[in-house]
Chains A and B, each alone.
Chain A
Amino acid sequence: MALATDNTQGMSWHRTATSRFLDKGFFWLTAAFGIGVGIILLAIAFQVGRDAIPSIQKFGLGFLTATRWNPVEDIYGAWTQIYGTLVTSFMALLLAVPVGVGVAIVLSEDFLPPRLQKPLVFMVELLAAIPSVVYGLWGIFVLAPLLQGPAMWFYKTFAGVPVLGSLFSTPPTGRGVYIAGIILAIMILPIISAISRDALVAVPLELRQAAYGLGASRWETLFRVIIPAAFSGIVGGVMLALGRAMGETMAVTMLIGNSSNPSPSLFAQGSTISSLLANQFAEADGLQVSSLMYAALVLFGLTLLVNILAELLVSRVKLKM
């Protein structure tokens, strides 16, 4: 210890002008990168907002609740897409959060021998490396035929049941909101589990030892100490995953059925804001481009809202602890 302190002191006495210049330079470089990211975000938001102005003027807030998307008559409303974005993302979180956090717990505790644990960690992280078009193709050729049977069972069993029945009110085909939701769940799973695992592993060993010292069992330690301590990290992972789910384009476009007719049914074909943009942007002109920009702006807003909510959630939980 003492030796190390002496060393650094010795260094600082002999700091040359070059070293100080490099130090300053590095500081400003990182600052510029940091600010640059912010500027890029604002620039994109500004550009999208500016291009959306004609559509905002024409449709106003009614854009958010109207359900027609008709490029022939230039009538645009994005409710079907907003609903599709929210439902697929929510469904993805519902499926992926319990599984993802569970995976993270298994892979951070010493349940498994390291020889088995290491490859498993690697494989989960590898899921994140699969290109989304591959997920889309896999969804079309494997997942959709596989789900056809179970989906049909839901459709027949819940027919006529109020509320729940409306979720399954259309006959399932190979494309639809539910398949998009499930594929999104698989896609965001590695993000949630990888980040949650990092957060769990980063909890100081002293906390765990102290909990054991007070007589807590393994599960008490896990649920009362480790998970709360890692909570902000886990929420961070979930938010990143949600961002991915809301913005995912390729796989969703391939699986959701791309219909702008609104339906509460999970088996119906739907559309998300991202899939709408992917489909129509290349061949759009005039008010259609502007309306697509407006839809993009709405997606921006939704993401911002979700992030603010997450921040609030984290600070609430921190206060309680």
Chain B
Amino acid sequence: MTGGGGAITLNGAGASAPNPLYQRWFADYNKVDPNVQISYQSVGSGAGVKQFIEQTVDFGASDDPLKDADRGKYPSARGAGPVQIPTTGIFVVFAYNLDGVENLKLSRESYCGIVDGSIKTWNDPKLTKENPDAKLPDTPITFAYRSDGSGTTAVFTKHLVKSCPNWKGGSGKSVEWPTGTGAKGNEGVTAQIQQASGTIGYTEFSYAKENALKVATLQNKAGEFITPSPEAAEKALVGVEPDKNLVVSVPDPEQKDAYPIVSLTYLLLYEQYPDSAKADALKKMVNWALKDGKAAVAELGYIPLPDEIATKVVTQLDTIKVASK
């Protein structure tokens, strides 16, 4: 302000899964560069993409990479195409509430069965086999899912398609669930799990962490049981080559120590900005987030981008037109 450069306000909208991280980043960045004020509306990935295409925001955010159909609608006034930047990794956990059961282990067969409704009670032989020490009651299992369209559901169901032979619901932001109770938003699912003993549901790890929910250890493709943690989730991204749009897709990671339900979340930027100060500010902010913002990533329960992807992001950022100085 004192320099007379004037404040730059950036508006963004989109995915709710990385919302806690983005809010933290943008607040922290405002301290680094007080001239840049960034506001972010966590309206959901689909709405984020819509607003990005309609140019009502300065950047969008989505858990799902842009589809070809959406790329086709990209406004030509904003350059050749969208600049899609992965910012952080998210991973989806089974959070549960069952009195006296601390470290629930779920084999692939078990969690597939809970989701498709073939495992109905907590003392099902498949569950007791993996958890010999736990006192599993004979009460019914309530599966909690997201009733609203959500990127978290998309990540979760993409994994189910690959890992569960009996899963017939397909994958997408909202699917037809054969069993269970739907709740709106991450906070809805979280509340439902917290409230009712015997409930298990899927949610983004940071929400489970923030609300101190118990999370299940899952069996990955290699057959290992992996306790969810940012470190285990990061392993799923190591050594995976992103495509030209920087999309990394690991619906069912092969690595031995990798947590199985992992995805990246993306920022959507324009190639050209009418106001070059905005382009400049956005570029600087993303560069800052990938380097100095890493502390917040781990603290909030997200996965830091592997170095090889982060390097590509920096290159990709250069395609954004910035004021010549």
Contacts and interface: CB of A to CB of B under 8 A. Distances in A.
Interface string A8-32: 0000000000000000000000000
A111 interface: no
Given A258-B181, A258-B183, A269-B182, A173 B196 contact: yes
A123 B59 CA distance: 48
Interface string B128-144: 00000000000010100
Contacts of B174: 71, 279-280, 283-284
Contacts of A284: 46, 149, 174
B175 A283 contact: no
B186 interface: no
Nearest to B178: A261
A282 B146 CA distance: 13
A259 B140 contact: no
A145 B179 CA distance: 22
A174 B175 contact: no
B323 interface: no
B148 interface: yes
Contacts of B173: 71, 283
Contacts of A121: none
Interface residues on B, range: 20 to 34
B43 interface: yes
Interface in A176-221: none
B150 interface: yes
Given A258-B183, A260-B176, A282-B44, A72 B196 contact: no
Q: Which 3 A-B pairs have the closest CB atoms?
A: A283-B149, A258-B182, A258-B147
Nearest to A257: B181
A252 B158 CA distance: 29
A314 B44 CA distance: 46
Given A283-B44, A283-B150, 17 more contacts: A70-B169, A70-B175, A71-B173, A71-B174, A71-B176, A72-B172, A72-B176, A257-B181, A257-B182, A260-B176, A269-B182, A279-B174, A279-B182, A282-B44, A283-B45, A283-B174, A285-B46
Interface of B: 43-47, 140, 142, 147-150, 169-184, 188, 191-192, 195-196
A282 B46 contact: yes
Interface in A233-273: 253-254, 257-261, 269, 271
Interface of A: 68-73, 140-141, 144-145, 171, 173-175, 253-254, 257-261, 269, 271, 275, 278-280, 282-285
Contact of A253 (B179, B184, B196): B184
B174 to A, nearest CB: 5
Contacts of A175: 181, 183, 192
A191 to B, nearest CB: 25
A69 B175 CA distance: 8
A282 B47 CA distance: 6
Nearest to B188: A254
A244 to B, nearest CB: 20
B176 A70 contact: yes
A295 B184 CA distance: 19
Contacts of B140: 171, 173
B148 A282 contact: yes
Nearest to B46: A283
A283 B182 CA distance: 16
A271 B175 CA distance: 15
A182 to B, nearest CB: 17
A233 B182 CA distance: 39
Contacts of B176: 68-72, 260
Given A259-B182, A283-B46, A253 B147 contact: yes
Given A71-B172, A71-B175, A175-B192, A283 B184 contact: no
B47 A278 contact: no
A144 B196 CA distance: 10
A141 B191 CA distance: 10
A269 B178 CA distance: 12
A274 to B, nearest CB: 12
B192 A72 contact: no
B149 A259 contact: no
B180 A259 contact: yes
A283 B148 contact: yes
A140 B44 CA distance: 24
A73 B157 CA distance: 14
Contacts of A258: 147, 181-184
Nearest to A144: B195
A259 B181 contact: yes
A73 B191 CA distance: 30
B198 to A, nearest CB: 8
A266 B139 CA distance: 20
Contacts of A69: 176
Nearest to A269: B181
Nearest to A174: B196
15 contacts: A70-B176, A140-B191, A173-B181, A173-B196, A254-B188, A257-B182, A259-B177, A261-B177, A278-B184, A279-B147, A279-B184, A282-B148, A283-B47, A284-B149, A284-B174
Nearest to B151: A283
Contacts of B45: 283
B175 A72 contact: yes
B34 to A, nearest CB: 33
A266 B64 CA distance: 37
Contacts of A280: 148-149, 174
A254 to B, nearest CB: 7
B160 to A, nearest CB: 12
Nearest to B197: A174
A140 B183 CA distance: 11
A175 B188 CA distance: 12
